[in-house]
Chain A
C-alpha cells in the first residue's frame, strides 16, 4: 500500500496530488505539501542518516529547522547538489532526488558503525590525548583518516549554475515568525497603517498552530484563523509577506538579514529564477515572535530512529496526516507531550504508554488520557530502548526505584519542555536573564529597537500571547493606546512543566549513551567527563565535547548540556554561562550571501573612455586595482618584449600616446588651499605661480612616502592634484581625515575628479607638433608654456586642462578633457600622431621609460618604509617649512640614521641579463644561510634605448656605494651587478625641451 502511515482523516493535505520522489535510489510517493520527512514517515521510513562520530542510525527528531539528525543530500542534477539539507524543511516535488550521507556502503549497513563499538575509546576529547606517536604519523596517517571519517555530506564538485538575488528593504515594523504571536503583531501593525514585513521560515504561516489543535482565536480554530489573517495581510499594500524566509542574523542599527528560499520546492524552476534571495531589512522596530523549541529527554539510547519530539509527531499527524508509528510511547517531563498521545489515540493509533517522570502531573490532559484508557506511568522514567534501525521497545522503571519493565513500541515521543528561541534577541546584543523558576533564559533589556512576544518571550498562554503581540504590533506602528485592538484567543492545551539535564539512568554513575547533542554524538557522560577534566566554563565544555557545534548549533541540546555541567560543578546555571548566539540562526547558502557578486560582477571593472579604442588596437590589459589598463600594444608577430621595445624606441624617437586616465585627481579649492597643500605635501606651495606645476610628495604621519603626483596651480585658490592610480581613494580619505580632524579651521574643499577627466599623455620629441594643430587659445612655445606648467584652453573644440609635464624624460603633454570627450580627442590626437610616426603605448613601456630616467613609482620603489631621503627625493622637501604631515616622523633617529636602504641604479655585468623584480641583493654570495641581505630589486627591465638592462633597487647605504660590485643570488647562481646612479638615460635632462 502506498503511504501506509498516512491517515486519510487526519492532517490538511487532504486530496493533494501525489508526488513521486526518490531516497537513496528507491522511489516513494508522497503528497504535494509534504516535507521530505513527512513523506518518508508516511512510507514508514524513519532511518535517514548516520551520526557524525559513531555512525549510529538516526531518524527524524523534529519537524522543523532545529533538526539535528535528518540531514540528506539533495541532487537536482550533477551541478546542483546540496549537502546537509534538513529533510524536515525540504519540501518534496515531483522527481526530488535525496540521498543519505556519512555512510558506506549503505545507510542500513554502514561500516563506519564500527566506531560505535569502539566508542569507549572515543570519549570526549580523546584525539587530544593520542595520535602523537610516531610524530610523522599524524600528518600522514591519523589526520587523513580522521578527515575522511568526519564531515557529513559531499561538497558540490562543479560550479553552481543557479543564480541568487539580493534586496535591501526598509519598513516600519519587521515581524520575524508567523505563528499566533507574529500574525497578531503584524495584523495590529498593519491596521495601524505601518509598512510591515512579516517573515516566516515555513512554507505556510501558522507556526505551532500547525499542530496545536486546542487553540481557538477569534472564534476559529487557530490554524484557520492563521490562514485567514495571512490572506488578509497578503492582500494589503502596506504588508510584505515572506514565507520560506528565515530571519538569520540581527546586526547593528536594527538591520536584520533574511534569506528567502524560492525554488528548492519547485519541480523545474526557470533558469533565470533566483534560487534564494537575501533581504537586508532595516526596520524602525522589530517584533521577534520566534517561538520556542522543544527539547528531547536525555536517557540511555535515546537516539534510535523512531524516537522523536512530541511536537514533531503532532505536526506530522495534525498537519501532514502521518502517524509516526502504530504503537507509540511517550516519555515526558512536561504537559504538552500528553497532547500528542491524545491526538494519536483519537486518530486510532495505539498508545503503548505515557511515561512522565514527574510524580503527580495534573490537568485535563492527564484526566483525558486516563479516560481514553492509556496507560499513564507517572513517576516513571525510560531507562533504555531496544531496536537496531528503529526503536522496538523501551525500558521503564519507577523514578523512586523498583523493577524495570520492557514495553514494546515502534515510536517514542519525548519532551523535556521548551526553550524560548532567543537567538535573534541575543544577536541583537540584548542581555538574557535566567528565570530560575521555569529554568529558562528569557529576553532581558533590549539594546536595539525591538520587542519579543509570545513563546520566545516566555509566554505560554495563548490568550496573553495574542494580546501582548497585538499591543506590540500596535505600538511598534505608533498606534494610539485607545485604539489598541483585541482578539479573543484561548487554548485548551498546557505547556508547563519540563526538566533540564539528564534523566534517570543517565546520572553521574551511568556509562550508558544518553545523547545530549545527537548530530555530534555528545552524551551526558561526555559533558561530565569534560567538567571532570577541568572544563569549568560552558565555552570550554562546548569546545571540548563539541556539544552544540553541529549544523543545528545546539537548538535542542544546549540547555541540557549546560544543566549537566552546572550540576557537576554544583553551581547555578547562569554562573556556568551560556554560549554566545551567533549568526546565522540556521545555515545560510553562500550563494545567497554572494548574490550577484560573482564572475564579472564580483567587483566592478573600471574602464577608461579610451578602453574600446585600445581593445580594437590589440592592446593587452593588466589589472591595476579595479582598472583595466592597456599593458602593451603588440603588432602582428610581436611578443610582449618586442612590442615594448618598439614602443620605447618610438616614444624617444618621435612620440607616443598613453592613456593616463586612471591616475587619481583631486580638486583642492578654497582660500586656504595653498596652506593645506603645504601641510599635506613635503613641498612648498605658497610661492608656486598660477599656471605652474610641481611634483609633490605626500608622507604619512610616520615620515614614510604615502603617495606622489604632479600638482598644477590653476588659480590662487585652486590646485589640480594628481595621485597614483591605486592611491586615489585613500589619498582623498587621508586629506579629508586631516582636514576634518587636524585642520578644521582651514577653508578648503576637496573633490574627487578622477572620473571627470580623461587624460591623454603625449610624450616624445614630436609631442608638441602632434597636439599643436588641435589646441586653441594656448601658446605652446617653450617661453609661453615651459616644462611643468598648466594652461586652460580648448582642444578639438572641447575645454582642456593642458599640462606640460613628463614621466618619460621627453618633451611631453598631458591633455585633460571631460571624460565624455576622451575617446574623440584621443582619436584626433592619434590621427595627428600617425602623421609623425607616433605609437600608442601601454603601462609596461611607461614603466620602462620612467625607470630609464630613475623616476619612482610609489608602491614599487616604495613599500611604506621609504623616506624621501631614501628615495633620493630630499630636494622635494621644503627646507624652510615649519610643518607638514610626517615632518616629526621623518626626524626620528632611525629615519636619518646611516645605513638606511636607499634607492640606487643597478647594472648587470652581463648587459643582457634582466634581473628579477623582488630579487635580493647581497655583498657576499657565498655567505651561509641566513645570508645577510642589503636590499632588493624594485624595478628591472630591458632598456631598448640604453641597449642594456636597467634596474632600480633599494640597497643599505646605497648612496655611498656608487660603483660597488654587489650580487643578486638566484637559485641557479649569483648575478654580478654594479651600483649606479638611478638615471640611465639623458642624465642632464635636456630632452624635456628637446
Chain B
C-alpha cells in the first residue's frame, strides 16, 4: 500500500495524479479461503481488515453482490454517538467511538471523523426522565453525556428554536460532545484499501446464492454467481439480507426490514455546528463538510426491501426540522433517498456465533449501524477468528430471542437511535 500523505499528493500533483495505485484490486475469486465475509459494507470490510491486522488471518475474501459500500454504509446520515442506556449497548458503541478516534491514522485514510457533538432534545417530561436516566447511566459507565438547559442548548446550536410557544417546546437536551459524524464512503473505502493491502480479496458483483455445509453440518463454503468458493468459516454481514442468507444454512434470524429515508439540502456556508436529534418530533440533522444539511427521516410503517419511501414521511420530517429550526424554510431539498434498515425484536444487533459450526452473523443494526462500524467489525473479527465472542459482543447473541435476555434500546430510547 502506498502511504497517503501531503507529500505523496505533492509528488502526484507533479504528474497529473496518474501514479496513484488502485485503492483495492478487483481479483477473481480463489478456489477457497480461510474466511469468507458476505457483504462489503463498512462492517464487513472492517471485519476483514481486523481479521488481517489483529488476528493474522489474511486468506480472506469479502463477497459483495453489488458495489462495496453501496448498502446502508453509503445511505445513512453518518451520526456517531455512544450514549446508549444499557451497559451492553454503551459497551459496544463506546468501543466503537474509541476506534473512531484515530481511525483515519490507523487506516491511513481520512474518514473525517468530526466529533462536533450530538445533542438530543427533550420536549416533554417523559423525555426529560429518559434522558436523565441515560446521563446517569452513561456517567457511571464512563461515557460522556451531559444535560443542557434550553438556553445552553441554544448556545451550542444557535439555529435552534427554544421558544416556549413552540408546539413542543425544548425542555432541555442531552449532549455527547464526543459524538459527531464521519464521511461514510471514506469508511468503506478506507477499510477496503487497508484490508486489500493486507491481502484480503474484495470481490464485487458476486452474489452468494447458497451456503455449503459438509456431512458434519459445518460450513464448507458458498455458492455464488461467480462459482463455488470454499471456506472454513463464513461471516454473514449483509444487513437486511442476512436473514435470507442465514436461511440458506437453516438458521432463523428474527429480522424485519423497513425503508428509512434521508435527504440533503442544497449546500450552504456553515450554519449548523453540531448534530441535533429529536425523537419526539422525529428528525435529526447535521451539516456536512460540503455544506448540505443532512436530514434523517423516519421509517415507513410497513416492511419492504424497496430503497424508496413515501413523500409524506419526508414532509413530516421537514415539518419537524422547520419547527425546530424556523430559519430553514427557504432552504431547498436537493436529494432524497432510502435505505433498508434491518430491525431485531429488541432493536439491538446480533453479533454472534450460530448453531452452524463455522457460520457467524453480524446484523440487525437497525438505524444505528454506521456509528458502530469500527467497534462491530473489531469484535466480530475476534468472534470469527477465535470462534468465541469478544466480551463486548458476548451479550448480542441469537439465543437471546429464545431465552429472553434482551437488550431493548428501543424501549429505552423510544424510536430511532
On A, residues with C-beta under 8 Å from B are 52, 80-84, 120-121, 123-124, 126-133, 135, 138-139, 143-144, 146-148, 150-160, 162, 164, 249, 251-252, 255, 257, 280, 429, 511, 525, 529, 532-537, 539-540, 543-544, 546, 551, 553, 580, 582-584, 587-591, 593-595, 597-600, 602-603, 605, 622-624, 702-704, 859-860, 863-865, 889, 892-895, 916-920, 922, 929-931, 933, 936, 969-971
Contact = CB atoms under 8 A, between A and B. Distances in A.
Interface in B309-343: 310-311, 314-316, 318-323, 326-337
Contact of A130 (B9, B330, B412): B9
Given A537-B66, A543-B74, A865-B408, 5 more contacts: A249-B311, A251-B310, A251-B311, A702-B404, A918-B136
Given A152-B267, A525-B17, A128 B129 contact: no
A591 B330 contact: yes
Interface string B21-39: 1111110000000000000
Given A280-B311, A594-B318, A532 B167 contact: no
Nearest to B134: A918
Given A587-B332, A933-B137, A151 B9 contact: no
A121 B17 CA distance: 9
A128 B4 contact: yes
Contacts of A164: 329
A489 B314 CA distance: 43
Contacts of B268: 83-84, 151-155
Contact of B327 (A146, A159, A525, A529): A159
Nearest to B16: A511
B161 to A, nearest CB: 8
B387 to A, nearest CB: 24
6 contacts: A128-B110, A150-B267, A156-B330, A251-B311, A587-B333, A863-B412
Given A602-B167, A919-B132, A931-B140, A590 B70 contact: no
B110 A138 contact: yes
B204 A929 contact: no
B112 A150 contact: no
A936 B132 CA distance: 10
B345 interface: yes
B20 A529 contact: yes
A127 B110 contact: yes
Contacts of A540: 67-69
Interface string B153-167: 000000000000001
Nearest to B141: A930
B81 interface: no
Interface residues of B, number: 110
A865 B110 contact: no
Interface of B: 4-6, 8-10, 12-14, 16-18, 20-26, 66-70, 74, 87, 102, 104-105, 108-110, 112-116, 123-126, 128-137, 139-142, 167-168, 183, 185-186, 189-190, 204, 265-271, 281, 287, 289-291, 308, 310-311, 314-316, 318-323, 326-337, 345, 400, 402-406, 408, 410-412
Given A537-B204, A598-B319, A128 B190 contact: yes
Nearest to A73: B268
A561 to B, nearest CB: 16
B332 A894 contact: no
B26 A593 contact: no
Nearest to B2: A129
A690 B9 CA distance: 84
A158 B327 contact: yes
B405 to A, nearest CB: 4
B404 A81 contact: no
Contacts of B12: 123
B189 A128 contact: yes
A549 to B, nearest CB: 8
Nearest to B115: A139
Nearest to A248: B333
A151 to B, nearest CB: 3
A130 B133 contact: no
Nearest to B185: A543
Contacts of A702: 345, 404, 406
Contacts of B311: 249, 251, 255, 257, 280, 583, 593
Nearest to B192: A534
Contacts of A533: 20-23
Contacts of B281: 602
B332 A589 contact: yes
Contacts of A129: 4-5, 8-9, 109-110
Contacts of A157: 271, 327
Contacts of B87: 930, 933
Contacts of A138: 104, 110, 112-114
Contacts of A147: 270, 287, 289, 291
Contacts of B18: 529, 532
Contact of A864 (B26, B271, B320, B408): B408
Please list the 6 inter-chain residue pairs (A to B) with the smallest Cβ-Cβ separation, ordered nearest first: A864-B411, A151-B291, A918-B132, A918-B133, A892-B404, A587-B332
Given A132-B108, A603-B167, A860 B126 contact: yes
Contacts of B314: 593
B22 A532 contact: yes
B265 A590 contact: yes
Nearest to B10: A121
Contacts of B404: 702-703, 889, 892-895
A123 B20 CA distance: 11
A553 B4 CA distance: 30
A251 B327 CA distance: 28
A702 B411 CA distance: 13
A429 B308 CA distance: 10
A860 B142 CA distance: 25
Task: Output the residue of A128, A132, A162, A930 with the most chain B CB within 10 A.
Answer: A128
Nearest to B167: A602
Nearest to A584: B333
Contacts of B104: 132, 135, 138
A126 B10 CA distance: 10
A157 B265 CA distance: 16
A588 B333 contact: yes
Contact of B328 (A155, A252, A584, A600): A155
B293 to A, nearest CB: 8
Nearest to B190: A128
A120 B13 contact: yes
Contact of A536 (B8, B204, B266, B291): B204
Contacts of A582: 335-337
Contacts of B316: 597
Contacts of A429: 308
Nearest to B272: A155
Contacts of A603: 167-168, 319
Nearest to B21: A533
A499 B114 CA distance: 42
B260 to A, nearest CB: 14
Nearest to A600: B167
Nearest to B94: A930
Contacts of A917: 128-129, 132-133
Contact of A152 (B70, B266, B327, B412): B266
A148 B16 CA distance: 27
B326 A918 contact: no
Given A930-B141, A936-B136, A160 B310 contact: no
Task: Output the residue of B123, B137, B334 with the most chain A CB within 10 A.
Answer: B334
